[in-house]
Structure 1
């Protein structure tokens, strides 16, 4: 089983419309509501691919109840930690030319007691031998210290579980010292972590190696339209996957992480699965997660011949 923990989950509402007119009444052609938050999306993508997944979530208010209900309907095991604040609702607007505008709410502020209950739920229920991976995903809500993920990784590692970490900023840097098994930054997050702009694939590889020197055992770096990198002690691989039309990139990185973990979480085969899942996700509406029927694994290319001088778009 793969367990995800999302400290700041959401409901994601997506509207599609021909174009956005500021200051006017806009009428959507379609709308949808999906469970949201990075770890939630990872759990959804794993379940869609036939894996067993559980989601540990702090949930509050009506939106929290709806989020839990939507996940249970999709066959995802939900471990909810009640909080006083209301679970946030994020809004995405997709225009006819595929321009995406996102409005992300801050989410509730967690108390010290709620933070401790979240950690205790993971330690008590999801550190046994049947847990293959624990994926710690997303931003930290108000009330949680930047060291929160670092503490979680250290505690869960002591029980033998493997940790995947998908976060950014101070929370990512603090957690590196706990030696997570894999971190998954995108290009912007990778650049922020090393404190410099990344303009070529080679510079991205060097930045990933720097994160490994700071403690990450593997770095799975998404470069958007320029593909993905996997940098580990076993080697460095670079891969690409063609995309005909981008409909929505909400949750595409989460789908990639699900593909990676669901295929073992190491090596070129897992990187290829990550690419196939990410490419499929961007061609779906809203934050819909791909099923095996949506994947095109034969279109994925993975190589150890790194194009160091290739510019990043």
Structure 2
């Protein structure tokens, strides 16, 4: 079982539009409503792959009730933490050329009692998990050290931790040695305090994160592919994608694939790349099923192309 923790979940509305014209009426050609949040997306991807998952998340108000109903309809077990404030609602606008505009609400503020109940719920579910994926931003009320506390408690219980967050929350959690961290290129650049222009820059930055405590780094480099750096070395994975429909949740789908495959080594990287590539071909934040994967388009190599200039340099 893969346990996911989403401290700041959301109700996500995605609209497909021909293009955005500021100040004009834009008529959507498609609409979806999905349970959102990075950990929620990981659980959705794990379920789509036919594996068991439990999603721990604070839920409040009508949006929170709808998130729970949507997850239940998808066959996802939920370990809810009741909170006083309403769960946030987010909007994504997906243009026909693949450009995505997201409007993310800040979310509710959790009280000290709600924060502790969230940690206690994770503790209660931990003995049954092969991995715990802690994902996303922290809601108001949670200090940056909250993830570090969670990683420490999970390790004390013998669980393995995958962490997907950024900024001070990531840097503080590194001291507790999470088993894998999954930054994108921008988050990786922010963590080391310098821009990344090449794949080699990303490798060096990942090695620095390992020096700060991460046992492994799974870095998403957008259209360029993904990078895995751990104690055994570095691997680079990429896949051919002919058309991008939506990249919402693609990184979360990648993390799910990585953990489903065991969470280490080039084979896990290959499944991560396959899941990410499949996700961007689907609308909104739809998670891929095994039938959507195309392993033949995936390449994983230990011959990392360090001189390759990133298509989307990170600053």
Q: What range is the shorter-chain TM-score in?
A: over 0.9
With the length of structure 1 as denominator, give the TM-score of the two structures.
Answer: 0.98
Matches within 5 A, 1:7-46: 7-46=7-46
Q: Distance in 1 between matches of 2:219 and 2:50?
A: 25
Question: Tell me, what secondary structure is at the counterpart of 2:229?
Answer: strand
The worse-fitting range, judged by mean Cα deviation, of 145-154 and 85-94 is 85-94
Q: 1:166 deviation in Å?
A: 0.1
1:93 — aligned with what?
A: 93
Q: 1:23 deviation in Å?
A: 1.5
Are residue 290 (structure 1) and residue 288 (structure 2) matched?
A: yes
Give unmatched runs, 5+ long, in structure 1.
none
1:252 — aligned with what?
A: 250
Native 8 Å contact 2:3 2:126 kept in 1: no
2:53 — aligned with what?
A: 53
1:127 — aligned with what?
A: 126
Q: Distance in 2 between matches of 1:258 and 1:154?
A: 22
Q: Distance in 1 between matches of 2:59 and 2:176?
A: 27
Q: Distance in 2 between matches of 1:297 and 1:26?
A: 37
Are residue 68 (structure 1) and residue 68 (structure 2) matched?
A: yes
Superposed CA deviations along residues 272-299 of structure 1, whole A, max 9, x for unmatched, are: 0000000000111000000001000121
1:303 — aligned with what?
A: 301
Question: Tell me, what secondary structure is at the counterpart of 1:174?
Answer: helix
Cα-Cα RMSD:
0.7
Q: Distance in 1 between matches of 2:95 and 2:310?
A: 25
1:136 — aligned with what?
A: 134
Native 8 Å contact 2:176 2:213 kept in 1: yes
Question: Tell me, what secondary structure is at the counterpart of 1:127?
Answer: helix
With the length of structure 2 as denominator, give the TM-score of the two structures.
Answer: 0.98
Q: Distance in 1 between matches of 2:44 and 2:195?
A: 33
Q: Distance in 1 between matches of 2:45 and 2:121?
A: 23
Native 8 Å contact 2:96 2:245 kept in 1: no
Superposed CA deviations along residues 29-64 of structure 1, whole A, max 9, x for unmatched, are: 110101100000000000000110010000000000
Give unmatched runs, 5+ long, in structure 2.
none
Question: Tell me, what secondary structure is at the counterpart of 2:242?
Answer: coil
Question: Tell me, what secondary structure is at the counterpart of 2:138?
Answer: coil
Q: Distance in 2 between matches of 1:30 and 1:169?
A: 34
2:149 — aligned with what?
A: 151
2:167 — aligned with what?
A: 169
Q: Distance in 1 between matches of 2:16 and 2:228?
A: 34
Equivalent of 2:265 in 264, 267, 289 = 267
Question: Tell me, what secondary structure is at the counterpart of 1:308?
Answer: coil
Q: Distance in 1 between matches of 2:96 and 2:298?
A: 28
Deviating runs (4+, > 4 A) in structure 1?
A: none
Question: Tell me, what secondary structure is at the counterpart of 1:55?
Answer: strand
Question: Tell me, what secondary structure is at the counterpart of 1:248?
Answer: coil
Q: Distance in 2 between matches of 1:145 and 1:308?
A: 36
2:82 — aligned with what?
A: 82
Superposed CA deviations along residues 145-168 of structure 1, whole A, max 9, x for unmatched, are: 000000000001011000000000
Question: Tell me, what secondary structure is at the counterpart of 1:192?
Answer: helix
Q: Distance in 2 between matches of 1:271 and 1:189?
A: 19
Question: Tell me, what secondary structure is at the counterpart of 2:310?
Answer: coil
Q: Distance in 2 between matches of 1:97 and 1:240?
A: 21
